[in-house]
Structure 1
Amino acid sequence: MEPPTGIWASLWQFICFLPFFIGLLLLGTIKGILFCPLVCIIMTVGNSAVILGLWPAHFFWTYYCVLSAKQVGPVLKLVLCPLIFVVLCIWPLVGIVSSVIGGVAYGFLSPVFATFDAVGEGKENEFYHSIYDGTWSTIQGCFTVVRDFTDVCFHSYFSIMDDLRDCGPPDAKYYEIRILHLPGAIVAGVLGLLVDVPVISLLAFFKGPYMLFKGWKRLLHDMIGREGPFLETICVPFAGLAIILWPLAVIGAILGSMVFSVFLGAYAGVVAYQESSFLMGLHYIVAALAIYDEYSNDVLDMPEGTCFPRPSFRKADASLQPQSRAPSFSRPNSFQKMPSQNGSVKRPMVDLKPIELLDNLFKECHRHGERLVSEGIISVKDIEDAKSGKDNHGGISIGLPSYSILLMLIQSAKANSTGLLLSDNVTEITSTNRPKDTFFDWFFNPLLIMKEQIKAENLSPVLEDYLGKLVLLGGDPERLRSSWIVNTPEYEVKRAELEALARRLRGITKSISRYPTFRRRFETLTKSILENMAKKSPAEHSGDGTGSAPRKRGSLVRFLSEKSSRRKRSDSNSDSESHIPVDKDLEIQ
């Protein structure tokens, strides 16, 4: 939809749109008021039952894992025990209060947003959907939140604690605390709280009005000129709602700064302990004010710089020459130059979200899972065990997603991509369009490094098959030794490098599996694979638990080569190949 031209056309459209917007807001508010109590009760009761029911197990298992952890020294264990006790005692209260607040927010806002979304472009029967949307879907979403919270408290928590208990100390050393420097660190942390918390809170309070009026000015300018969020018709209701709720966003930003100042000030104790210097902790207390001031100025587009001094609080930085001053916290050197795009296949830049990437991962797991079962590489029993949670050491529950990620890394390396190339051979995740969540950075950067390692190795087809075997079956040593892939690398160094690469990839995937929605999505994936395989040929895919179906070698290489050839045909004749059904990707020559 083209935006109107001229001030009178823009003003007339705004006048016509205003009653429509107010009506939708009232309808969404009514639905929110009706469903908010029910959603709050369901979420509070469900999450509280999980918290209180698992609290004894969390209490016992946390202490057991910490006390038996080989990578934690005895003195550090002695210091952690009282801190863990405080955290475990506060956890039920914090969890229940957060469930109440989250239930109220989700129960009210979800119907409101669903009401506005029901009248977007391309929607049919808008009147019906504006009334129905956000009702039953909100109730279902509430149960989904409780389910995901249960998975985090049960599966993710015990997975993390098991890693803490089982992992040995790196290089035969364990983490220990230096008692002599502990008093100075505690004093520095307390002083940081006493100084940084009130000063940062005052800075946030005085910058709040500027943020309020600057945001309103920008939103009203975009609304009148149909720019920014008001350019797309589907975004207009949400942008209008943003104008109304902008004061709440400002209040939230101020409160968030106050909460953040607690951690920023207490970090002075960490600096004093790391640098073994109480003076460096005092330097950090002053520098933290400058860091926050500069960062907030950048966010609010205010003049750069700060009125606070910024002394160096690291001994390594203090030894540098004055002209080699460390870069600003808000403008690090790593962001001053954009990565070069030379040699990369030019692809459309699309802003991606973590949930979209997770959807793509499970879509690929479904494709590869059916293909691997049909080839006899994994059996139906393996899928059933993974679905029921009986998967030994995460064989398939970790191996199948790791295998799908490996194919993406190999394909990205062969395509000479600067980022990660998704399965459609069009969408590319780069440092520009990647999700801006810090959580995503924990996985994105290591995967980029692994892709470059695979590219530098220039693996032969045999080594690619061997790496695929390690990634897919690495959780089952017996199965790995008797697997269907032939010829391990002749050289011990090469074999060790590939095994280390496979372990890192499985470790990254194991961390991804702790994501709140992962387990629920994986159970849906395994259920879908079992249903599809049962519809095809029960006699062929009955599965005796040994993977005794006809075995085909070189499937990883063959799959990648077929995928590459399809991509080349698609590039040369995109019109004729744009409607290839998905089942074509599963055909094995």
Structure 2
Amino acid sequence: MEPPSGFWASLLSLLKFLPYFCGLLILGFIKGVLLCPWACLIMAIGLSTLILGLWPMHLIWTYYCIIRTKLVGPVVKFLLLIAATAILIIWLIIGIPGSVFAGLVYGFLAPIMATFGAVGEGKEKPFVHCFVDGTWSTITGSCTVVRDVKDLLFHSYFSIMDDLRLQKHPDGKPYEIRVLDIPGALIAAACGLLLDGIMFTLISLYKCPVMLFKGWKRLIQDMIGREGPFLETACVPFAGLAILLWPFAVVGAVLASILSSIPLGAYGAVVAYQESSLIMGLAYVASSVSIFDEYTNDVLDMAPGSCFPRYKYRKSKDDSSRGQSATISRPSSFNKDKQEGKRPPSRVTSFKNSIDEFNPFKLLDHLFTECRRQGEELVNKGLIIMKDIEETKSGKVGSGVLNVGLPAYVILNALLRSAKANSDGLILSDGSEITSDNRPRHTLFDWFFDPLMVIKEQIKAENFTEEEEEYLKMQVLLAGDPNRKGTLPHVPSLNERKKAEIEAFARRLQGITKSISRYPTAKRRFDVLVKALMSELERTMGGSQSTNGSQAQRLRKSVARMLSQKSMGKTANIRDEDPEAQMTSSSRTP
């Protein structure tokens, strides 16, 4: 949709748009008022029950894991116990009021957003959807939020604590701290919290009117000219709502700035400890005010630089023993002289590209869709058996064939596909490609995507043969079950070094997959996957032992025939002429 040209055309478009927008806003407001109490009731009762019910278990298990871990020494354990106690008490205090507040916000805003979304381009029967959308979906969404929080508090939390309890330092020596440097670090942290808390608050309050009026000016200019967020019809309601809610965004930015003083001020303790100097810690505390002031000037497009002093708070540039560079470069302000030669970004850029970009939840949906498709194939091959599903449903194993091996197997196939195609990113099974241009701009996604790209390049450099790739796939799939690792296919070309490299790849992929399983909504999707694979297994096997035995016998015959023909040097012909042998080349040898 092209924006209107000319002042009168823009004014006419604005006058036509305002009643339309106000009507949707009033309708969404009415739906939000009606549904807000019910959503708040569901989320408040559900989340509060989870917090209160699991809090004793969290307390006991946290203490147990910290005491039993071999990753840290006694002094660090003592400090962790104190910190964990404080965090658990704070969680109990803010968790229950926070659940009520979250229910109010979600129950009120979800119907409003759904009302505006019902009139987007491509929607059929928009008038009906204006009244229907955001009603029942808000109620079910509240239940989904409670379910996902339950998975985080029960599944993800205990999985993380188990890793803490079972991990060991690579050198066998636990992490320990220097006790004599603790007092200076605590003094630096106290000074940082006090000074940064006061100064950050004053700076934020001083600059909040600038943010308020500059934001309003930009949004109103875009609204009159139908530019920026007002260009696309689907985005117009949300951009108009942004004008009304902009003061709340400014208040939120001020509160976020004040809260940011806590970690930045407390970081003075880290500097004082790393440098073994209280003076350096205090120098950082004073410099953090200048850093914050200069950063806010850059964000608000104010005069660069800061009137506050900046001190050196690192001793040496080559102080690698502490893992930190001596001086942290001051955040560079926008140099206006350098920006003069650059063309500013267009304000009429379409938002369609950003809407079509990948997001982490879409990728999570794609992962579990592939897990279901490839899992059904593995069920038909006999590589996923009823024992795997039963153990996963009962929770007896934390990293089995199904809950860790299968997602890692799917990710490995995508990496192999991308490596063979010489892709700079990751090619999915539907042909779409994730690159640096369309990748999700999300910190959590970076934790997974960047290591996967490193593994892809390493796999490309190894140049595995087809037999070695199949061995790697089975290693990734079955490494979670030690009793079945002995059934991996035999590859004569593998030596001990190659096997060790393949096992290292498998461990890293399974570690990444285990981290993905802690992602919000992952557990809910995984439960749906388990039910689908169980239905497929029952349909394929018929629930009878005779079927299992006949399939195992067929697999044994296929593998035996394949190995005998390989020994005569006919491997290539087998792949071309016998699809069954090719299919079973990646299965278990009896």
Residues 510-565 of structure 1: CA distance to partner in whole angstroms, max 9, x if unpaired? 011011211100111222333456567747999759983744779xxxxxxxxxxx
CA distance in 2, matches of 1:356, 1:542: 41
Shift of 1:325: 7.4
2:468 to 463, 466, 473: 463
Shift of 1:228: 1.7
2:399 to 368, 374, 393: 393
Specify the SS of the correspondent of 1:139: helix
Shift of 1:126: 1.5
CA distance in 2, matches of 1:212, 1:74: 50
Instruction: Note if 1:426 corresponds to 2:432.
Output: yes
The corresponding residue for 1:474 is 479
For residues 108-257 of structure 1, the aligned pairs below 5 Å read 108-257=108-257
Residues 491-523 of structure 1: CA distance to partner in whole angstroms, max 9, x if unpaired? 222211221121111111101101121110011
The corresponding residue for 1:359 is 365
Asked whether the 8 Å contact 1:380–1:543 carries over to 2, the reply is no
Shift of 1:298: 3.0
TM-score (norm 2): 0.85
Asked whether the 8 Å contact 2:294–2:333 carries over to 1, the reply is no
Asked whether the 8 Å contact 1:118–1:126 carries over to 2, the reply is yes
Residues 55-108 of structure 1: CA distance to partner in whole angstroms, max 9, x if unpaired? 111111111110011111012212222322222222211211211111111010
Instruction: Note if 1:523 corresponds to 2:527.
Output: yes
Instruction: Note if 1:268 corresponds to 2:268.
Output: yes
The corresponding residue for 1:581 is none
The corresponding residue for 1:382 is 388
CA distance in 1, matches of 2:317, 2:286: 16
Residues 361-395 of structure 1: CA distance to partner in whole angstroms, max 9, x if unpaired? 11211221111112222224424543453446332
CA distance in 1, matches of 2:111, 2:305: 43
Specify the SS of the correspondent of 2:476: helix
Residues 345-375 of structure 1: CA distance to partner in whole angstroms, max 9, x if unpaired? xxx9953211111112112112211111122
CA distance in 2, matches of 1:146, 1:71: 33
Asked whether the 8 Å contact 1:184–1:278 carries over to 2, the reply is yes
The corresponding residue for 2:346 is none
Asked whether the 8 Å contact 2:27–2:115 carries over to 1, the reply is yes
Comparing 460-469 and 389-398, the one that deviates more: 389-398
Letter in 2 for 1:465: E
The 1:203–1:490 alpha-carbon spacing in structure 2 relative to 1, beyond 3 Å, is: same
The 1:278–1:3 alpha-carbon spacing in structure 2 relative to 1, beyond 3 Å, is: same
Specify the SS of the correspondent of 2:400: helix
Q: How many residues align?
A: 536
Asked whether the 8 Å contact 1:377–1:547 carries over to 2, the reply is no
The 1:246–1:194 alpha-carbon spacing in structure 2 relative to 1, beyond 3 Å, is: same
The corresponding residue for 1:508 is 512
The 1:185–1:142 alpha-carbon spacing in structure 2 relative to 1, beyond 3 Å, is: same
The 1:297–1:317 alpha-carbon spacing in structure 2 relative to 1, beyond 3 Å, is: farther
Letter in 2 for 1:478: N
Shift of 1:2: 2.7
CA distance in 2, matches of 1:419, 1:292: 35
Asked whether the 8 Å contact 1:188–1:282 carries over to 2, the reply is yes
Letter in 2 for 1:151: D
Letter in 1 for 2:392: A
The 1:62–1:537 alpha-carbon spacing in structure 2 relative to 1, beyond 3 Å, is: closer
Specify the SS of the correspondent of 1:171: coil
Comparing 287-296 and 34-43, the one that deviates more: 287-296
CA distance in 2, matches of 1:357, 1:232: 25
Shift of 1:4: 1.9
CA distance in 2, matches of 1:307, 1:451: 48
Letter in 2 for 1:454: I
Specify the SS of the correspondent of 1:490: coil
The corresponding residue for 1:548 is 552
CA distance in 2, matches of 1:169, 1:297: 43
Comparing 222-231 and 19-28, the one that deviates more: 222-231
Asked whether the 8 Å contact 1:70–1:165 carries over to 2, the reply is yes
For residues 44-55 of structure 1, the aligned pairs below 5 Å read 44-55=44-55
The corresponding residue for 1:343 is none
CA distance in 2, matches of 1:157, 1:361: 22
Shift of 1:438: 1.7
Instruction: Note if 1:409 corresponds to 2:415.
Output: yes
Letter in 2 for 1:17: F
CA distance in 2, matches of 1:195, 1:260: 13
The corresponding residue for 1:369 is 375
The 1:545–1:508 alpha-carbon spacing in structure 2 relative to 1, beyond 3 Å, is: farther
Shift of 1:12: 0.8
CA distance in 2, matches of 1:542, 1:534: 13
The corresponding residue for 2:33 is 33
TM-score (norm 1): 0.85
Instruction: Note if 1:450 corresponds to 2:443.
Output: no
CA distance in 1, matches of 2:551, 2:271: 55
Shift of 1:280: 1.6
The 1:304–1:495 alpha-carbon spacing in structure 2 relative to 1, beyond 3 Å, is: farther
Comparing 212-221 and 59-68, the one that deviates more: 212-221
CA distance in 2, matches of 1:241, 1:254: 20
Letter in 2 for 1:8: W
Shift of 1:20: 1.0
Bigger Rg, which one: 2
The 1:464–1:364 alpha-carbon spacing in structure 2 relative to 1, beyond 3 Å, is: same
CA distance in 1, matches of 2:542, 2:66: 48
Specify the SS of the correspondent of 2:438: coil
Residues 228-287 of structure 1: CA distance to partner in whole angstroms, max 9, x if unpaired? 211111111111111111111111011001001111111101111122221221121122
CA distance in 2, matches of 1:43, 1:226: 39
CA distance in 2, matches of 1:204, 1:9: 39
Letter in 1 for 2:94: V
Residues 467-507 of structure 1: CA distance to partner in whole angstroms, max 9, x if unpaired? 11121111101112113x33276322221122112111111
CA distance in 1, matches of 2:281, 2:547: 63
Asked whether the 8 Å contact 1:380–1:541 carries over to 2, the reply is no
* Structure 1: tracts of 5 or more residues without a match: 333-347, 555-587
CA distance in 2, matches of 1:487, 1:236: 60
The 1:235–1:549 alpha-carbon spacing in structure 2 relative to 1, beyond 3 Å, is: farther
The corresponding residue for 1:441 is 446
The 1:172–1:391 alpha-carbon spacing in structure 2 relative to 1, beyond 3 Å, is: closer
Asked whether the 8 Å contact 2:541–2:547 carries over to 1, the reply is no
Asked whether the 8 Å contact 2:478–2:485 carries over to 1, the reply is yes
Letter in 2 for 1:275: E
CA distance in 1, matches of 2:551, 2:431: 31
Comparing 73-82 and 240-249, the one that deviates more: 73-82
Specify the SS of the correspondent of 1:315: coil
Letter in 1 for 2:294: E
Residues 167-226 of structure 1: CA distance to partner in whole angstroms, max 9, x if unpaired? 122211101121100000000000111111111122222221111122112212222222
Asked whether the 8 Å contact 2:372–2:533 carries over to 1, the reply is yes
Specify the SS of the correspondent of 2:317: helix
The 1:506–1:88 alpha-carbon spacing in structure 2 relative to 1, beyond 3 Å, is: same
The 1:69–1:21 alpha-carbon spacing in structure 2 relative to 1, beyond 3 Å, is: same
Specify the SS of the correspondent of 2:171: helix
The 1:165–1:549 alpha-carbon spacing in structure 2 relative to 1, beyond 3 Å, is: farther
Letter in 2 for 1:530: M
Asked whether the 8 Å contact 1:115–1:133 carries over to 2, the reply is yes
CA distance in 1, matches of 2:266, 2:492: 52
Letter in 1 for 2:451: P
CA distance in 1, matches of 2:327, 2:249: 35
The 1:545–1:173 alpha-carbon spacing in structure 2 relative to 1, beyond 3 Å, is: farther
